[in-house]
Structure 1
Amino acid sequence: MPKPDPVRSQKLSRVGPRQYSDGRPQKNLWCHSGATSVVLTTVVDSQLLYTIEIKIADATSVLRGELASLKAENDSAIVSLKNKMETNASAIVELTDAANLSSDTVRDLERSVETLRKQVTTLTEKCLDLEGRSKRNNLRVAGLKEGRENGRDTRELAAQLLKDALDLDETPLIDRAHRALRRKPGDGEPPRQLIIRLHYCHTFEDIMKKVMGTKELVYQGDKIRIFRDLLAEVAKRRAMFTPVRRMLRDKPGVRYGLLYPAKLRISHDDTEKFFTDPEEARRYVARHLEEAE
């Protein structure tokens, strides 16, 4: 029997039983040394490919699970958001209705307030007019020293004062006369004004004309001033026309006067204007009278 060739036995090798990564046995492969590398490469490639497929399958399974979990969470969140949106939409509708109702109510209240404001303004003017009419025959005398009465009735003093100071033909008939209702002034303080109510309206008008035509009034050595007994509000309104009246002074061909209670009349170039707003009167004078100069 021939002996085996030792060289051939070295070149011929046996690939023993192998297993795949999942434990499956591989067939025994006999190969010559020239084809060994090719066979081994093929086996390794197959094994790697199978391993990669397994890992891809595992990763895919994990990703699918995570995606399913994420989808479930998203679905739950979306449902919750939808519910909240529906709730918010319902609340917005209610708020819109309430806002519209409030807006309508506010408009109604504004109209009511405007109506009431006009009524209050009208009633205020009527009250001022009525109170002013109750004082339309009243005069005030400022500058008459305290104690000039000297025991006489104040009406007698007032009648004699008007006759002497204004050089009247007759002694005026006086209904009432008294000092201003405040405490008696001390030394160095101005005397209280004397308030006089005349009986006849025409007497009042005659006296006011005399006052306007007299530069200085003196009674028993006292320099006095005589003027209408005006309401505080009326006096305030009339005082607001003082700057405009100063602008009208010494204007050639311009006549002006302050009517009761507080209405400025301006006459020039056959034109007559009436103003109850001092600012409007000032603009008119600045535009039509001062620019004309």
Structure 2
Amino acid sequence: MPIKGQKNAQKTQKSDSPVQQANEGAMLTADASEANQASVSSELVSHPDVMSAIKSMQTDFASRFDSLLNAIRGVQNEIQLIATRVSQTEDRIGNNEDDIATLKKDNCTLKGELEALTRKVDDLENRSRRSNLRLVGLPEKAEGRDMCSFLVKWIPEVLGTVSFPGPLIIERAHRIGRPPEADSAATGPAPRPRAVVMKFLNYADKTRVMRAAREMGTVLYEGKKVMFFPDISSELLKQRKTYDPVKKLLASFSIPDLRFGIIHPAKLLVTHKGKRHVFDNASQANVFAQQFKEEGGYP
């Protein structure tokens, strides 16, 4: 008869036998797998073509990987170079913007100075011509050989000696431009005679001539109309010409006591019934002329 402790040990051995069997089976499976891998490895090692292909793949992969790394390094270098150049470009653009701002400021200053100097030069030019008169319409060769002697004698005769208490003194006088006969290609009607510019020694004599010519209205030389004008610069002449439309409009009113004219340097003076009005630009004068027309007198 078995002992009680032995029976319990036998029961324990019987109860543990399935687990042990499973572990033993797993160990056997692992051993079998390792054995299979070892056998496969031994077979691969023993096959020279397979090993050669593997080595070739490894070499090809290594070369491609190296080329990829080199390409990445090249891209990185180019990116760094581009970043450096972009930074330099930004600095240069910033410097250029600062220089442009400075140049714009200087340009505005120089422009203002140039305009001021231009006005001064034009004013000086017109001041140097204050004693000059321009005679338009005098036929060619009417003066003979001495223009000054002709004008000193002819002007008092045609304008009246009463306006000239003393003899006129003309420093110099000459025609402007090329003689008409110098242009051999000119055809058709006779060309207009060249204008005559004369310089008086005294400004008062020039004023007397202008006043006498204005009072006479129409001045003739051998039946041909001649006109006296102040000698001014081309820039001032342009400014005065801006009043021409207004002057034509005022002249169309046909009002006997309406007087208008240009005063120095380029202002329009309108006089009506003893009232005077001076305009600094043509737009103001045009507004005044329209109101004058509508209201029939000073607005």
The whole-number CA distance in structure 1 between the counterparts of 2:99 and 2:289 is 49
CA–CA distance in structure 2, aligned partners of residues 69 and 289 of structure 1: 96
Residue identity matched to 1:240:
T
Classify the secondary structure of the residue corresponding to 1:139.
strand
- Counterparts of 1:129-208 in structure 2, within 5 Å, are 129-150=123-144, 153-169=146-162, 170=164, 172-186=167-181, 188-208=190-210
Assess if the C-alpha contact under 8 Å between 1:137 and 1:204 holds in 2: yes
Alpha-carbon contact 1:172-1:198 (below 8 Å) kept: no
Which residue of structure 1 aligns with residue 263 of structure 2?
A: 259
The alpha-carbon deviation at position 260 of structure 1 amounts to: 2.9
Equivalent residues of 1:174, 1:196 under 8 A apart: no
AA matched with 1:245: K
Counterpart position of 1:10 = none
**Other-structure match for 2:52:** none
Task: Name the aligned partner's letter for residue 191 of structure 2.
Answer: E
Kindly state the Cα deviation for residue 136 of structure 1 after the two structures are TM-superposed: 0.6
- Root-mean-square deviation (Å): 4.0
1:255–1:109 distance in 2 versus 1, CA, 3 Å: farther
Shift of 1:225: 1.0
Task: Say which SS state the counterpart of residue 177 (structure 2) adopts.
Answer: coil
Query: Can you list the C-alpha shifts for 1:58-103, whole angstroms capped at 9, x where unaligned?
Result: xxxxxxxx99999988776655444433322222111111001011
Match among 280, 284, 289 for residue 274 of structure 1 = 280
Contact 2:176 2:195 in 1 (8 A): no
1:5 corresponding residue in structure 2: none
User: Do the aligned partners of residues 288 and 67 (structure 1) sit closer, same or farther apart at CA in structure 2, a change above 3 Å counting?
Assistant: farther
Larger RCO (alpha carbons 8 Å, 6+ apart): 2
Q: Which moved more, 1:66-75 or 1:82-91?
A: 66-75
CA distance in structure 1 between the aligned counterparts of 2:289 and 2:191, rounded to whole angstroms: 43
Paired letter, 2:96 = S
- TM-superposition CA deviations, 1:238-293 (whole Å, max 9, x none): 22332343344456898754333334457899875422xxxxx33x4565653783
How many percent of aligned residue pairs carry the same amino acid?
A: 26
Distance 2:259 2:71 in 1: 86
Distance 1:68 1:265 in 2: 100
Decide whether aligned partners of structure 1 residues 288 and 232 sit closer, same or farther in structure 2, where only a CA change above 3 A counts: closer
Question: Is the 8 Å Cα contact of residues 219 and 227 (structure 2) preserved in structure 1?
Answer: yes
Confirm or deny: 8 A CA contact 2:131 2:202 kept in the other structure.
yes
User: 8 Å contact 1:164–1:219 — kept in the other structure?
Assistant: no
Q: TM-score, normalised by structure 1?
A: 0.61
Residue 224 to residue 267, structure 1, CA distance change in 2 (3 Å): closer
1:240 equivalent in structure 2: 242
More strand by share: 1
CA change 1:198–1:112 in 2 (3 A) is same
Aligned to 1:43: none
The residue identity in structure 2 corresponding to 1:126 is K
Q: Contact 2:137/2:224 (CA < 8 Å) preserved in 1? A: yes
Give the length in aligned residue pairs: 228
In the alignment, does 2:120 pair up with 1:120? no
Q: Which runs of 5+ in 1 are unaligned?
A: 1-21, 25-65, 276-280
Note if contact 2:173-2:199 (Cα within 8 Å) is conserved in structure 1. Answer: no
Query: Could you tell me the TM-score, scaled by structure 2's length?
Result: 0.60
8 Å CA contact 2:249, 2:289 repeated in 1: no
Q: Matches of 1:231 and 1:159 in 2, distance apart?
A: 25
Of residues 103, 106, 116, the one that matches 1:109 is: 103
Distance 1:156 1:74, change over 3 A: same
Contact 2:268–2:278, Cα closer than 8 Å, also in 1: no
